[in-house]
Amino acid sequence: MFALVDCNEFYVSCERAFQNKLKGLPVVVLSNNDGCIISRSAEAKALGIKMGEPYFKVKPLLTQHEVRVFSSNYVLYGDMSRRVMHYLSSVVPDVEIYSIDEAFLDLRGMERYHGCLAKYATDIKQEIYRRTHIPTCVGIGPTKTLAKLANRITKKNPALGGICYLDTGAKRQWALEQVAVEDVWGIGRQYATKLHDAGICTAAALAQCSESWVRKHLGGVVGARLVRELQGFPCHAFQPCEDGATPERQSIACTRTFGKPLSTFADLLGAVGAFASRAAEKLRRQGSAVNTMTVFISKNKYGTEPPPYTFSTVVALPVATDDTSDLLRYARIALKRIWQPSSVYIKAGVVLAGLETAGQQQLGLFSTSNKGEARARLLQELDQLNQRFGAGTVRFATASIPKGKQSVPWLGNADFKSGAYTTNWDELWAL
């Protein structure tokens, strides 16, 4: 059996954990740049506020109902997530962190120690709440997909008390019949349309589809696995990670929409340089080196201009590196290739792919290991300073930005940001 622990309305719950007065009130959290709604309390959902809606469009509705609005505060959410995951890792041997607010638990063979798994899950749920004030729901089933499905059912049926355990064939059948096909894990918009056109409208109907039909219409092996999982045969590997540690990534990206449109090469280089620096930090944190970098810049796709909106270029690095100054150098070269004068851009990004284990990459023909060691120490210092005193405290000159928010041309809006209650002494939460 596998369990999926899912934090309810995670970002909203993080804000509520530090502001008790928000409980029972409609609350929403906005995406970066205060662009879209990305988390809604139940009260906000009830007002008809949809996921992903642009903030400026729903602003009147939010004002009318006195909805509390927050800019996203990823430092806070990341730290709260770490606390939840760390606790889970301390009570269950094998935990797979699936996203910032979800984890799969491997409960195979655990009845022996804990008796009924529903009771065990209830204890875990209550302890998470006691420690963090984050409410959760737990779905338990023989496959990850069924655990997901069970989790969804708890959210729709408050009477279940946040726990749904699909321990018998009858319960599984019942559960499959409850869930619309578009709400199955792995069924997105495209597949949902196809399925409805074929008269397949529930998870139960999907579970009965023939493998050949599914292979033909739902992405080949992906669809075949999905159906098998619904039938109770595990096809998705369980991938536990060490004590709440974040899993190693195969690609690392840093992309942002600017606070205002930019057009000069200098402004764009400032943004791309900062993104490359940030990506390099993430790279070093997981001990990787990169051999392929993509840089892109985008125009506004909502305007009257015809496509294309995004211009990107890929740089194959001669030698895999984790050095910020290397990435800054190539980022500048890449930007030169795609930037056009008198164009207006609203977004840029740096994506690192082709990640290798650092230190094991091939030495360049003319590089010397002494230089490498000194360099590595410097970068380590840089990362530690930035971690301790805040991102961007120490930077490379090319990624440098003048002091003061107003002079950082690419910085996005965050007009409603709560404090770094748990990670910054100056903003420490107090009663």
Q: C-alpha angle with apex 163: 159 to 169, nearest 5 degrees?
A: 100
Q: What one-character-per-residue DSSP string does 169-190 give?
A: HHHHHHHHHHSBGGGSTT--HH
Q: Counting contacts by CB under 7 A, is residue 169 touching DNA?
A: no
Q: C-alpha angle with apex 245: 240 to 247, nearest 5 degrees?
A: 65
Alpha carbon distance 33, 321 (integer Å): 31
Q: Counting contacts by CB under 7 A, is residue 240 touching DNA?
A: no
Residues 69-128 touching DNA, rule: CB under 7 A, are 98-102
Q: Which is nearer to DNA, 120 or 244 (CB)?
A: 244
Q: Counting contacts by CB under 7 A, is residue 315 touching DNA?
A: no
Q: Which residues contact 336 (CB under 8 A, 6 or more apart)?
A: 265
Q: CB under 7 A: which stretch of 201-209, 218-226, 383-391, 401-409 binds DNA?
A: 218-226
Amino acid letter, 249: R
DSSP H stretches of helix in 198-259: 203-207, 211-217, 221-230
Identify the H or E element spanning 346.
strand 345-357
Q: Counting contacts by CB under 7 A, is residue 251 touching DNA?
A: yes
Alpha carbon distance 117, 181 (integer Å): 27
Q: Counting contacts by CB under 7 A, is residue 52 touching DNA?
A: yes
Residue from 20, 24, 48, 56 binding DNA (CB under 7 A): 56
Residue from 250, 393, 400, 424 binding DNA (CB under 7 A): 250
Q: Of 395, 279, 391, nearest to 331 (Cα)?
A: 279
Q: Counting contacts by CB under 7 A, is residue 302 touching DNA?
A: yes
Q: Which is nearer to DNA, 233 or 429 (CB)?
A: 233
Q: CB under 7 A: which stretch of 105-113, 345-353, 396-404, 423-431 binds DNA?
A: 345-353
Peptide bond into 308 cis (omega under 30): yes
Q: CB under 7 A: which stretch of 51-59, 84-92, 318-326, 422-430 binds DNA?
A: 51-59
Cβ of residue 343: shortest distance to DNA, in angstroms? 15
Q: Counting contacts by CB under 7 A, is residue 249 touching DNA?
A: yes
Q: Which is nearer to DNA, 101 or 120 (CB)?
A: 101
Cβ of residue 82: shortest distance to DNA, in angstroms? 15
Q: Counting contacts by CB under 7 A, is residue 220 touching DNA?
A: yes
Q: Counting contacts by CB under 7 A, is residue 31 touching DNA?
A: yes
Q: Which residues contact 223 (CB under 8 A, 6 or more apart)?
A: 191, 214, 215, 217
Give residues in contact with DNA (CB under 7 A): 31-33, 35-36, 38, 52, 54-56, 98-102, 148, 184-192, 219-222, 249-257, 261, 282, 300, 302, 314, 316, 346-347, 349, 412
